[in-house]
Structure 1
Amino acid sequence: MHEDLSPETLAVTAGRPERRRGGPVNPPVVLSSTYVSSGPPVPGELLYARAGTETWQSFELALGALERSARPGIVFGSGMAAISATFSVLAAGSRVVVPRHAYQLTLALVADLRERTGLRVTSVDLADTEAVLAAVRGGAEGPAALLWVESPTNPMLEVADLPALVAGAHEVGALVAVDNTFATPLGQRPLTVGADLVVHSVTKYLAGHSDVVLGAVLADDEALHTRITAYRTLHGAIAGPWEVWLALRGLRTLALRVERSQASAAVLAARLVEHPAVAEVRHPSLPGDPGHARATALLDGYGSILGVRPHGGPQAADRVVEAVRLWVPATSLGGVESSLERRRRFATEAPTVPEDLLRLSVGIEDVEDLWRDLDQALRAGTSLVG
């Protein structure tokens, strides 16, 4: 039924209850920790809410349809729970290839696993396809077990040649996991080019309203899907029904929110390039951006995240954050509200991220209001007048 529907339509229609006269249009939230059951369990039977609920199922079906997966998604209590579950498929001492720029807690988890389990880690510039594939092949070390991909990367917005990376990794038997939080299933669907695992921080664009903390994993392969699901049950990394119901409600407007925020991000990026207070702008929509050609070829949209470096260094960047009135100084991203932060305020951020980099998450407010506030903050923060 879903094969010929666009992702924009699937965001609205997938995971709905079966149509019947007098039936609800939306799936209800079910608040029960346990279910009536006797005798030997039947496959798929609901027994206990740690293993599955009706409320999870609706969201998981919708996300699976959006990512064009052969199987439903697997919802988790947070994005980090989903990332941890993905890394759990590796045996102790395995080697992984990770981007040098990625979500800071992903890199922190990798460092923790290296210390505790002997995970061997190779860090790469994800935009350099040949260097990534050479690292995956490994030479004398032997091939990696897993290639972790973010595209665009957080917070540097590098764009990976995902089809080439998947093909090259599979040639040597490596799994490929893709954090698809920034692009969303509207921007790319990694499973369709052969990725083995896809991860989302549902907290961000999928839920979209900065009011839940959730994660999800998708896998077409039955063994991987079963293993990730078992991890969730055994480790108790589960989501509450209210949060998942809210995420499904947020998912219904994903296409509209992303369309608006991406369009505004492109407008702001083009203006910021010309701003006298700005030293550098990163957004794949810009013709001069290093990721522009690849994003144009591989992504269905340039995303809603900007990287901005004001003149004056980290002190000026901090002053810009303090001077905004409409933009929200905050971490996280993907909500209806526009937010910004200086990323290196976190000690765990990658040391190659510039100290003065501001990561901007563009929301759905009027773009002219956003521009006026950002313009005055940049002028105030960098001591420009007029």
Structure 2
Amino acid sequence: MPEKPLRPATIAVTAGRPKAEPDAPLNVPITMASTYVAGGDTEYGRYGNPTWTAFEEALGGLEGGRCLSFASGLAAVATVFDLVGQGQTVVAPRHSYNGTIMQLADLESRGRITARLVDVTDTDAFVAACEDASLVWLESPTNPALEIADIPTIRAAAHEAGAYVAVDNTFATPLAQRPLEMDVDLVVHSATKYIAGHSDALMGAIITRDDELFGVLKNRRDLIGAVPGTLEAYLALRGLRTMHLRVERAEVNAKELVRRLEEHPAIDEVRYPGFGGIVAIVLGQGAMAADLLTRKTSLWVHCTSLGGVESTFERRRRWNSEASSIPDALVRMSVGIEDVDDLWDDLRTALDDLV
């Protein structure tokens, strides 16, 4: 009789651990090695590390595929884009993560690819754009607009065109969405965010069920050298162990804050996909009011990252490279795990000053 599959919370806690033997450590130790004795499968620190392997087993188990870890989320993104041949087309949401958009723009400016940015909420237009694509890149929810893509429909169109489909699952996490179960080819994470979860480790990851594709990606990682630090892998795995608890609390807080934010007169629009800890608000008095909000709080921290235990926010259009279709007064909020009433008191006091 087959074993019953483990649920995500159990996988997060148990995957990637050493074999349970007398006096064995519960956690995989940090292996600080750049060189290994010849004759095995590793031989050199750019090709593998036991601490990376433990992290990769855990995240791969959560996403339902084989995982490769990278030095950062953007290193993982760049490795996926490296699959695209000279002059071929990449289709992506117009409101993708800023770093992703900048990579696409750089590749296009050098004649490497053609980048086609489409409104992902217009499924018909997105499907039509896939017709001659080599790679279809998706985010759902998008960053920072929090739009939801019809992944199964777009995936089907992309595969019919012979394109790979990659999904950046950083916002949703494998707790809310497992794109490989929708038959996409690749899942990408900025493990810096919810997976590590404590704003102290820079890492990325790619997960796939395709063994041939896994081999190609690993070869690219080996050649380019975009490998994670051993300490970072250890910290990311330690963070992953409690991701389900952190995301659950952040989501509870986010839903309650959304309810209260929707009633505040300083806010024109609240965007929330219905899950997770990321919220976006649009201030009624424009960009200056949004900038003022990010300077008036004491608990909410103004910074550009997200997914940590602490609550953070920023006005995204302060970056010149952010899409012009993102409202000037949009503030992206990463809700943390603090007491929701303390978070609201801090936020409401700042918002009240803007009315």
Q: TM-score range with shorter-chain normalisation?
A: over 0.9
Contact between 1:176 and 1:195, CA under 8 Å: does it hold in 2? yes
For 2:337, the equivalent position in structure 1 comes to 364
Please state how far the C-alpha of 1:117 moved relative to its aligned partner.
Answer: 3.4
**2: distance between equivalents of 1:351 and 1:223?**
39
**CA-to-partner distance for each residue in 1:288-339, whole Å, 9 max, x for gaps?**
xxxxxxxxxxxxxx11111101121000001101101100011110000000
**2: distance between equivalents of 1:337 and 1:118?**
39
Answer with 210-219 or 117-126: which moved more: 117-126
Contact between 2:269 and 2:281, CA under 8 Å: does it hold in 1? yes
Contact between 1:2 and 1:10, CA under 8 Å: does it hold in 2? no
Contact between 2:196 and 2:236, CA under 8 Å: does it hold in 1? yes
For 1:379, the equivalent position in structure 2 comes to 352
Query: 1:309 is paired with a residue of what secondary structure?
Result: strand
**CA-to-partner distance for each residue in 1:182-218, whole Å, 9 max, x for gaps?**
0001011111111101100000000000001100011
**1: distance between equivalents of 2:103 and 2:7?**
35
Change (3 A) 1:207 1:2: farther
Please state how far the C-alpha of 1:32 moved relative to its aligned partner.
Answer: 0.9
- For residues 169-318 of structure 1, the aligned pairs below 5 Å read 169-285=158-274, 302-318=275-291
For 1:120, the equivalent position in structure 2 comes to 114
**CA-to-partner distance for each residue in 1:32-62, whole Å, 9 max, x for gaps?**
1111114xxx5xx121110001010000010
Moved over 3 A (4+): none
For 1:60, the equivalent position in structure 2 comes to 56
Please state how far the C-alpha of 1:2 moved relative to its aligned partner.
Answer: 8.2
Query: 1:80 is paired with a residue of what secondary structure?
Result: helix
The answer on 1:48 being equivalent to 2:44 is yes
Query: 1:145 is paired with a residue of what secondary structure?
Result: strand
Please state how far the C-alpha of 1:220 moved relative to its aligned partner.
Answer: 1.2
Change (3 A) 1:267 1:243: same
Query: 1:210 is paired with a residue of what secondary structure?
Result: coil
Query: 2:188 is paired with a residue of what secondary structure?
Result: strand
**1: distance between equivalents of 2:352 and 2:338?**
21
Change (3 A) 1:3 1:32: farther
**1: distance between equivalents of 2:72 and 2:144?**
20
Please state how far the C-alpha of 1:118 moved relative to its aligned partner.
Answer: 3.4
Query: 2:103 is paired with a residue of what secondary structure?
Result: helix
Consecutive unaligned residues of structure 2, counting only runs of 5 or more, are none
- For residues 57-206 of structure 1, the aligned pairs below 5 Å read 57-69=53-65, 71=66, 73-137=67-131, 143-206=132-195
Query: 1:98 is paired with a residue of what secondary structure?
Result: strand
Query: 1:211 is paired with a residue of what secondary structure?
Result: coil
**1: distance between equivalents of 2:27 and 2:227?**
22
**Structure 1 length normalisation: TM-score?**
0.90
Contact between 1:127 and 1:160, CA under 8 Å: does it hold in 2? yes
**1: distance between equivalents of 2:247 and 2:349?**
26
| Letter of the structure 1 residue corresponding to residue 73 of structure 2 | G
**CA-to-partner distance for each residue in 1:153-209, whole Å, 9 max, x for gaps?**
000000011111111211121110000000001011111111101100000000000
Aligned length in residues: 354
Change (3 A) 1:2 1:356: farther
**2: distance between equivalents of 1:160 and 1:254?**
24
Query: 1:181 is paired with a residue of what secondary structure?
Result: coil
**2: distance between equivalents of 1:273 and 1:242?**
42
Contact between 2:64 and 2:209, CA under 8 Å: does it hold in 1? no
- For residues 7-18 of structure 1, the aligned pairs below 5 Å read 7-18=8-19
Query: 2:6 is paired with a residue of what secondary structure?
Result: coil
Contact between 1:327 and 1:340, CA under 8 Å: does it hold in 2? yes
**1: distance between equivalents of 2:127 and 2:187?**
19
**Structure 2 length normalisation: TM-score?**
0.98
Aligned-residue Cα RMSD (Å) equals: 1.1
| Letter of the structure 2 residue corresponding to residue 222 of structure 1 | D
Consecutive unaligned residues of structure 1, counting only runs of 5 or more, are 138-142, 286-301
Answer with 196-205 or 214-223: which moved more: 214-223
| Letter of the structure 2 residue corresponding to residue 92 of structure 1 | Q
| Letter of the structure 2 residue corresponding to residue 60 of structure 1 | E
For 1:290, the equivalent position in structure 2 comes to none
The answer on 1:23 being equivalent to 2:24 is yes
Query: 2:138 is paired with a residue of what secondary structure?
Result: strand
**2: distance between equivalents of 1:364 and 1:199?**
24
For 1:5, the equivalent position in structure 2 comes to 6
Query: 1:19 is paired with a residue of what secondary structure?
Result: coil
**CA-to-partner distance for each residue in 1:58-105, whole Å, 9 max, x for gaps?**
000101100011x2x100001110000010111010111110001001
Change (3 A) 1:2 1:221: farther
**1: distance between equivalents of 2:339 and 2:112?**
50
Please state how far the C-alpha of 1:19 moved relative to its aligned partner.
Answer: 1.3
